């Protein structure tokens, strides 16, 4: 039996993306072009949005409008629109990434996704997903050679968690204590468990109770704060506007 093989038909362990996976190759080229066109340092911002059944009606509508305003206000700033990358994670009937990280300037090119109220309050699962998304995005920035600001994660809720939240909350607090996360909590309405919300957050960042349904005022403060952050260097800790100036917290 002849054991010799035709070199032209032998298997090569070397994969040529351009030849073997042309679609993947083109996608990678587009990513490189996108980041070459916008080399600004990035600031990932995760919004954990309580969309449980108790948020039905006016609360979910006001929250929806507030999120839309946030994109518009960040998108109106020459620097923040290229740097701030929001990520929407609603939790209620399910916990999912409704809109992933992308610069506000790109997000404004498509309609805002709709928020629907329903289900319970799986807050622990939402925190876990938010932290995982931030970690993955930070690795992506590093692979692309992009500098990054400290990530922000804001938790909105009108109730209390009905899943296991102690482990995820401890992980978030530890990350914040190391200086790797700005973690905030916003209570909505009179039914919110502010004591548990305070236990979830870092001890030096107590929760705020939203005044009525002043989501728009909150998101205006958040947008202005991120404009301040992204106007400085990634190693510079700049003072953000005080919440009292915006009339959203009780």
Give me the domains of the chain, ranges plus CATH numbers: 40-245 (3.40.50.410)
Give the number of other Cβ atoms within 10 Å of residue 51's Cβ: 28
Range 190-199 contact pairs with CB under 8 angstroms and sequence separation of 24 or more: 191/54, 191/158, 191/159, 192/157, 192/158, 192/159, 192/160, 193/159, 193/160, 196/160, 196/161, 196/165, 197/155, 197/157, 197/160, 199/169
- pLDDT for 36 equals 67
DSSP secondary structure letter of residue 101: -
Give the number of other Cβ atoms within 10 Å of residue 10's Cβ: 7
pLDDT exceeds 70 at position 97:
yes
Question: Are the C-beta atoms of residues 140 and 28 closer than 8 Å to each other?
Answer: no
pLDDT exceeds 60 at position 58:
yes
Weakest-pLDDT range from 54-68, 86-100, 101-115, 122-136: 101-115
Higher pLDDT, 92 or 35: 92
The average confidence (pLDDT) of the chain is 89
Q: Which residue has the tokens 């996608």?
A: 27
- pLDDT for 9 equals 40
Higher pLDDT, 30 or 138: 138
Please state the pTM of the whole predicted model. Answer: 0.86
- pLDDT for 35 equals 61
- pLDDT for 237 equals 79
Spatial CB neighbours of 131, under 8 Å, sequence gap ≥ 6: 153, 168, 171, 172, 175
Query: Per the structure block, which two tokens stand in for 145?
Result: 């050679």
pLDDT digit string, tens, across residues 155-173 = 999 999 999 999 999 999 9
């Amino acid at each position: 039996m002849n054991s010799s093989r035709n070199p032209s038909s032998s298997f090569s362990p070397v994969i040529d993306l351009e030849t073997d996976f042309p679609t993947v190759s083109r996608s990678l080229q587009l990513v490189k072009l996108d980041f070459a066109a916008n080399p600004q340092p990035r600031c990932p911002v995760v919004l954990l949005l309580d969309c449980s059944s108790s948020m039905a009606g006016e609360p979910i509508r006001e929250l929806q409008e507030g999120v839309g305003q946030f994109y518009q206000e960040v998108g109106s700033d020459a620097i923040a629109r290229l740097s701030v990358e929001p990520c929407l994670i609603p939790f209620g009937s399910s916990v999912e990434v409704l809109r992933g990280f992308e610069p506000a300037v790109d997000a404004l090119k498509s309609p805002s996704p709709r928020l629907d109220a329903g289900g319970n309050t799986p807050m622990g699962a939402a925190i876990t997903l938010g932290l995982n998304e931030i970690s993955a995005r930070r690795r992506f920035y590093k692979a692309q050679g992009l500098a990054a600001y400290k990530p922000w994660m804001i938790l909105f809720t009108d109730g209390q968690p009905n899943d296991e939240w102690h482990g995820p909350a401890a992980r978030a607090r530890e990350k914040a204590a190391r200086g790797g996360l700005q973690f905030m909590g916003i209570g909505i309405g009179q039914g919110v468990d502010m004591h548990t919300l305070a236990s979830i957050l870092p001890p030096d960042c107590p929760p705020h109770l939203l005044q009525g349904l002043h989501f728009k005022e909150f998101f205006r403060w958040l947008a202005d704060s991120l404009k301040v952050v992204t106007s400085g260097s990634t190693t510079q800790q700049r003072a953000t506007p005080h919440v009292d100036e915006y009339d959203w917290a009780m």
